[in-house]
A and B are shown apart, each in its own frame.
Chain A
Amino acid sequence: MFHIYCPYCEELREEEEFHPKGQAHIARPVDPEACSDEEWGDYLFFRDNPRGIHHELWVHAVGCRKFFNITRNTVSYEILETYRMGEQPRFTAGHPEGKPAEQVAAEAEAVSRQEGVKA
């Protein structure tokens, strides 16, 4: 039994309220018709399996029922952060100690202009 912080409920909740939903930040091809079979197959079926930092999609299934992201270390199982849909991680393979807050904010701004993602 351990606790996971839900970024929507804004508190730590029991693990059994959550379900993992696989790799996060997978963008659907803008024009599926233009994809090769390989590109479409990659999008549908192929996932990363890194040793170390991994970004995952989780859902607060018995709670607010919102999807959100978790950055997790697949070696230590440590959860480094949880963040809302449309937000960008602070901890990445390139920045295992965490990016500065200003950089995260600037990147999130750029992404939101690109994707128009809203929670």
Chain B
Amino acid sequence: MSDPVATTAFDTRPDTSVPTESPLAWSYHETGCPGVSQKSRVVLRERAMLGHLILRGGAIALDEALREVLGLALPARPGGLNHDSEGVRSIQWLSPDEWLVIVPGGEAFALEQRLRNALGGAHYAIVDVSGGQTLIELEGEAARELLMKSTPYDVHPANFPVGKGVTTVFAKATAIVRRPTEDRWELVVRRSFADYCYRWLLDAGEEYGVGVEA
């Protein structure tokens, strides 16, 4: 009998010597990157090539596996976003049976295998979507104002505390909006929307002197 792990998971990037480009590489080249200056009230940076895993299944089985493998609790409440102590690995509630895990680049395949081993015969699905989306960070005093121009979702601190994340409309496209810390916001955008969202952010952020750390 074949190993269930070997038949259901494959490494999307087995050879790290092969060069890769972030979804924004072309945008940087084509649209450019306004620099960060004293006047920049918002700074944009892409966290490129992170590992993104979609977990689906029952909350109890996934929670046990995630605690064992990553030491992270599954957010049980809608909109929940949990980070590890270093703040670099996260898990976010997307729907009642779906969560998004984001880990540093290169960790996704090993994590997927360990989760599959921990989940054993449970009813679940794990999909590596690292190549399909990217994470953009917004930081600075005007970050929230920039979001207010871009999404109908209420990003006021009373409605959007630290540790929350939602999938919503962003500039007429779709994005995940997250707030990992007090002054930092994250957007998880699809690869196909990345260039459009980048150009939207530069345009909407112009009045705040938006700068890009590329």
Q: Which residues of B sit under 8 angstroms from A119, Cβ to Cβ? A: 96
A-B contact count (CB 8 A): 38
B27 an interface residue at 8 Å Cβ cutoff?
no
Is A64 a contact partner of B168 (Cβ separation < 8 A)?
A: no
Interface string of B141-155 (1 = CB under 8 A from A): 000000000001100
- Tally chain A residues at the interface, Cβ within 8 Å: 15
Where the two chains meet, the residues of A that have a C-beta atom closer than 8 Å to any C-beta of B are 1, 8-11, 13-14, 16-17, 62-66, 119
Provide the bound-state CA to CA distance between A11 and B165, in Å: 13
- Tally chain B residues at the interface, Cβ within 8 Å: 14
Is B152 a contact partner of A64 (Cβ separation < 8 A)?
A: no
Is A17 a contact partner of B169 (Cβ separation < 8 A)?
A: yes
B117 an interface residue at 8 Å Cβ cutoff?
no
Interface residue from A1, A8, A66 paired with B152 (Cβ < 8 Å): A1
Is A64 a contact partner of B94 (Cβ separation < 8 A)?
A: yes
Is A16 a contact partner of B169 (Cβ separation < 8 A)?
A: yes
B113 an interface residue at 8 Å Cβ cutoff?
no
Is B95 a contact partner of A13 (Cβ separation < 8 A)?
A: no
B166 an interface residue at 8 Å Cβ cutoff?
yes
Is B95 a contact partner of A64 (Cβ separation < 8 A)?
A: yes
Is B169 a contact partner of A9 (Cβ separation < 8 A)?
A: no
Is B168 a contact partner of A65 (Cβ separation < 8 A)?
A: no
Q: Which residues of B sit under 8 angstroms from A1, Cβ to Cβ? A: 152
Is B169 a contact partner of A8 (Cβ separation < 8 A)?
A: no
Q: How far is the CB of B55 from chain A (nearest CB, A)?
A: 15
Provide the bound-state CA to CA distance between A66 and B166, in Å: 14
Q: Which residues of B sit under 8 angstroms from A65, Cβ to Cβ? A: 95
Provide the bound-state CA to CA distance between A39 and B80, in Å: 45
